[in-house]
Amino acid sequence: MELLCAVPLASRTTLGVGGPAAALCMARSEADVAEAVEWAHAHGAPLHVLGGGSNVVVADAGVPGLVLSIALRGVEWGDDGRVTARAGEPWDALVRTATERGLAGIECLSGIPGLVGATPIQNVGAYGQEVGETIERVRALDRESGAVVELDGAACRFAYRDSFFKSGAPERYVVLAVTFRLTSGGAPAVRYPELERELRARGLQRPSLADVREVVLELRARKSMLFDLADENGRSCGSFFVNPVVSAARADELAASAADTSMPRYPQADGRVKLSAAWLIERSGLAKGTRDGAVGLSTKHTLCIVAHEGARADDVVRFAARVRRHVRERFGVELEPEPALWGFAQPPTP
């Protein structure tokens, strides 16, 4: 395996902040991954797995131990809608090609930055679609046994922004490849009200997969939710907070306390209700564009925390703590950060 020392990580993340990795391994094969895991174990070093860097905040002091950068490439397209992609494949490129091939199932996940290997971990979702709906199996290295295992969709225990990999056995597995079962010639998923309205406004009563992908990309661009360094809001992790899920009774209480019956509410299959974190942030008194120095909310979407020129990682997590405090004090709801925090012994408080 290729092992490098004192490697800067800021340029390897979409947020663009943070210090170096004490050591970094570029894993271009499954053997590289296994060797890196064995090396970390032998040296008693913590191991962090880095994909596209779109869902991580690296501490200013950097990250101790070994950072494993996933660079496994390759995609196999079957005749029955099955697609197997290695963990280091760029996610949006896979979505684009699937759409061009007429394969339905991931079209609403267009424009999400990062790599394929990260998608099953938090069950990536957007515009009414979740990746767990189409994952047939995940090939992964078990860091405890050193064995390569294959988990089917049921074993992955997908839930809203969650999976067995994230909450059941955090940091135990390194994803090597993902197999999706897509639908050849299938209709696109149009379940999300905003997406439905936009398609209707364009006169697309029976949109194609390409139509849905195009509209999703445009909706994301309007909110600066595409990774674009030319955009003033470009340096971010995308959604910094997970939309909270509460009981139906609690949702009614929150709407009443806000004196706003139009509060966005999305009923879940288990009877609970998903709320809009962006709506809660704005109603707590933090408007789009609110800033503390070099860090602030996106001017287009309150769910994004943006690192402007001169920002540091401490500034980012401190601002995130401020946002959480505002929402907690106004609504009694605790927002949970979506990105992982690396190298923080104790995240700064507001």
Residue 347 has pLDDT above 90, yes or no: no
If we measure between CA atoms, which residue out of 80, 283, 267 comes closest to residue 184? 80
pLDDT of 309 over the 90 cut: yes
Query: Is residue 338 among the annotated active site residues?
Result: yes
Region 122-133 average pLDDT: 95
**Can you give the pLDDT at residue 226?**
86
The strand order across the sheet containing 20-27 reads 2-8, 20-27, 63-70, 47-50
> Average of pLDDT values for 22-40?
96
Distance CA 168, CA 156 (A): 9
Structure-block tokens of residue 8? 């800067």
Say whether pLDDT at 87 is over 90. Answer: yes
Q: State pLDDT tens for residues 47-66.
A: 999 999 999 999 999 999 99
Position 19 pLDDT exceeds 90: yes
Digit-coded pLDDT (tens) for 189-221? 999 999 999 999 999 999 999 999 999 999 999
The radius of gyration of the chain from alpha carbons, rounded to an integer in Å, stands at 20
Helical (H) or strand (E) element with 297: strand 295-297
Domain 2-70 adopts which CATH fold? Answer: 3.30.43
**C-alpha to C-alpha distances, 26 to 57, 87, 159, 341, nearest whole angstrom:** 20, 13, 31, 21
Catalytic annotation, pick one of 86, 139, 161, 283: 161
Domain ranges, ordered by start, for the chain: 2-70, 75-184, 236-342
**pLDDT for residue 228 is more than 60:** yes
Could you say which of 110, 163, 236, 239 is catalytic?
239
State yes or no: is 239 an active-site residue: yes
Structural class in CATH, domain 236-342: alpha beta
- Residue 110: both structure tokens together: 């267009």
pLDDT of residue 345 exceeding 90, the answer is no
135 in Cβ contact with 211 (< 8 Å): no
Q: Is 89 annotated in the active site? A: no
Give residue 302's pLDDT band: very low, low, confident or very high (50, 70, 90). Answer: very high
Going by C-alpha positions, the residue among 327, 348, 318, 213 that lies closest to residue 279 is: 327
Do 2-70 and 75-184 fold alike per CATH? no
List the structure tokens of 92. Answer: 């949006």
Q: 336: number of CA atoms within 13 Å, CB side?
A: 10
- pLDDT band at residue 244, thresholds of 50, 70 and 90? very high
Query: For residues 18 and 58, is the Cβ–Cβ distance under 8 A?
Result: yes
Residue 108's pLDDT is 98
pTM of the model: 0.90
Average pLDDT (241-247) is: 95
Predicted confidence band at 170 (pLDDT cuts at 50, 70, 90)? Answer: very high
Average pLDDT, the chain: 94
Does residue 349 carry a pLDDT above 60? no
Q: Give the per-residue pLDDT at 205.
A: 92
Residue 210: its pLDDT value, please? 97
Mean pLDDT of 322-330: 97
Domain 75-184 has CATH 3.40.50.2300: no
